[in-house]
Structure 1
Amino acid sequence: MLLTVQGVDAYCYTGGKPFDAALPTVVFLHGAQNDHSVWALQSRYFAHHGFGVLAVDLPGHGRSKGAAKASVEELAAWLLELLDAAGVAQAALFGHSMGSLIALETSHQAPQRVRQLGLLGSTYPMKVSDTLLETSRSDEQAAIDMVNIWSHSSIAQKPSFPGPGFYAMGGAMRLKQRISQINPAQVFYTDFFACNAYANGEAAAKAVRCPTLFIFGLRDMMTPPRSTKLLTSSIAHGKVVQVDAGHELMAEQPDAVLDALVGFARA
């Protein structure tokens, strides 16, 4: 589904069903150098089981036009405009990595618009090493290689992976390369810069009152579980679920992630 947000096209995958704003809406927010497709299993399941689904392509990513936003605050403001364009008064926001910061900041900017928060592979502060930040600007393919290795717990597929013919690391690599091909304006650097610069996370977390779910990968090297204490202590009422995966937990443990999200959304 194409919407017009800030004067340009904004794409939302609706899970294979026409979007119905009268249903409970779930918004899926991807991470750096990704698009809506990282939520393929989860978004389709929700769309076919009683929810309205908006799995967005952030500005400058996938099918959404415009420049990539340089701050989490700008991305949250964009998301609120997208909800207006879709006719959605309130939604559950499920965000992965950078997307989790966008969900968190959106709940701070407009708490009345957020019914539930699902924060996956999240941490605060979400600092990016100087080496990775500079590499993403000077040698994007090298940065893609680095992140792809660090984001997976192993090169072997997990038992819950979709099946023969699928390769998690290869798929993640090609997606990041495709984003580079679609938009050569250093999207990876812009995304990492936004994560690294975001400074409102603690205040936003302390202000959260809606039901919140954290899903962490036990072997996540990008946002390791030990780094999440500030976030989880600031949202003390949040429920924590851990899955045997790295940072790409929706791909490595799709069923476990889906089960946790569905149980949370229906609670």
Structure 2
Amino acid sequence: MLFTVENTSAYCYTGGKAIHPEQPTAVFIHGAQNDHSAWALQTRYFAHHGWNVLAVDLPGHGRSQGAAKTSVEALASWLLAVLDAAGVAQAMLIGHSMGSLIALEAAFQAPQRVSHLALLGSSYPMKVSPALLETARNDEPAAIDMVNLWSHSSIAQKPSFPGPGFYAMGGARRLKQRISAINPQHIFYTDFYACNAYANGEVAAATVRCPTLFIIGARDMMTPPKSTKLLTSTIAHGKLVMVDSGHELMAEQPDAVLDALFSFAKP
């Protein structure tokens, strides 16, 4: 579904369903150098089980037009404008990695718009090493390969990989390469820069009052479990679920992530 947001086309995947005002809405927010398809194994289930789904392509990613935004604050404001364009007064926000910071900041900017908050593969501060930032700016293909390797645990390589019908590491790599092909304007660097520069996370977390869920990958090397402590201690009422995966937990452990999200979403 296409909306006009800030005078530019914004795409949201809806699971093939129309938006029904009487149903609750779940908004899925992808991470750096990704698009809505990162949530393919969760969004369709929500859409066919009583929920409106808006899985966004952030500006400059996937089918959304415009330049990639350089700050988490600007991305959160854009996300709230998407809700306005879709006619959604309140939603559950579900964000992965960079998307988790966007969800957190949106809850800070407009707490009345957020019914539930789910943060996956999240940490604060979400610092990016200078070497990776430099590689993302000057050699994006190398940065894609580096991050793709670090984002997956060894289980992603095994024949017993739990995501049926596809190869997690290969799929994630091709998606990041496709984003580069669609928009060659150093998207990876821009996304990493926004994560690295975001400085409002602790303040935002201290204001969260809505039900909150943390889903953490036990093998995550990008946002290790120990890096979540500031957020989980500040949002002390949040529920924490640990899954046996790396950073790409929606693909590595799709059923466990879906079960945690859908159980959390129930009234």
**Scaled by the length of structure 1, what TM-score is found?**
0.98
Q: Contact conserved, 1:70 with 1:194, CA < 8 A, in 2?
A: yes
Residue 159 of structure 1: CA displacement? Answer: 4.2
AA matched with 2:85: A
Residue 57 of structure 1: CA displacement? Answer: 0.2
RMSD between aligned alpha carbons? 0.8
Runs (5+) with no aligned partner, structure 1:
none
User: What is the correspondence of 1:216-255 to structure 2 with a 5 Å cutoff?
Assistant: 216-255=216-255
Match of 1:32 in 2: 32
Match of 1:71 in 2: 71
- Distance in structure 1 (CA, Å) of the matches to 2:252 and 2:105: 27
Match of 2:214 in 1: 214
- Distance in structure 2 (CA, Å) of the matches to 1:37 and 1:54: 12
AA matched with 2:215: I
Q: Contact conserved, 1:124 with 1:227, CA < 8 A, in 2?
A: yes
- Distance in structure 1 (CA, Å) of the matches to 2:159 and 2:35: 22
AA matched with 2:210: C
- 2:164 aligned to 162, 165, 170, which one? 162
Match of 2:94 in 1: 94
- Distance in structure 2 (CA, Å) of the matches to 1:121 and 1:93: 14
Match of 2:85 in 1: 85
- Distance in structure 1 (CA, Å) of the matches to 2:169 and 2:134: 23
User: What is the correspondence of 1:1-267 to structure 2 with a 5 Å cutoff?
Assistant: 1-154=1-154, 155-156=157-158, 158-163=160-165, 166-267=166-267
Runs (5+) with no aligned partner, structure 2:
none
Tell me the alpha carbon deviations over residues 211-247 of structure 1, each in whole angstroms, 9 at most, x when there is no partner: 0000000000000001111010000000000000000
Residue 21 of structure 1: CA displacement? Answer: 3.3
AA matched with 2:230: L
Tell me the alpha carbon deviations over residues 22-63 of structure 1, each in whole angstroms, 9 at most, x when there is no partner: 310000000000000010011000000000000000000000
Q: Contact conserved, 1:157 with 1:252, CA < 8 A, in 2?
A: no
AA matched with 1:45: Y
Tell me the alpha carbon deviations over residues 93-151 of structure 1, each in whole angstroms, 9 at most, x when there is no partner: 00000000000000000000000000000000000001101100000000000000000
Residue 156 of structure 1: CA displacement? Answer: 2.2
Residue 157 of structure 1: CA displacement? Answer: 5.2
- Distance in structure 1 (CA, Å) of the matches to 2:245 and 2:237: 24
Cα 1:193–1:91 shift into 2, 3 Å: same
Q: Contact conserved, 1:71 with 1:195, CA < 8 A, in 2?
A: yes
Residue 20 of structure 1: CA displacement? Answer: 2.1
Residue 17 of structure 1: CA displacement? Answer: 1.3
Q: Contact conserved, 1:158 with 1:252, CA < 8 A, in 2?
A: no
Q: Contact conserved, 1:4 with 1:85, CA < 8 A, in 2?
A: yes
**Scaled by the length of structure 2, what TM-score is found?**
0.98
- Distance in structure 2 (CA, Å) of the matches to 1:246 and 1:70: 26
- Distance in structure 1 (CA, Å) of the matches to 2:159 and 2:56: 27
- Distance in structure 2 (CA, Å) of the matches to 1:168 and 1:14: 23
Tell me the alpha carbon deviations over residues 181-209 of structure 1, each in whole angstroms, 9 at most, x when there is no partner: 00000000000000000000000001000
Choose 11-20 or 75-84, whichever is displaced more: 11-20
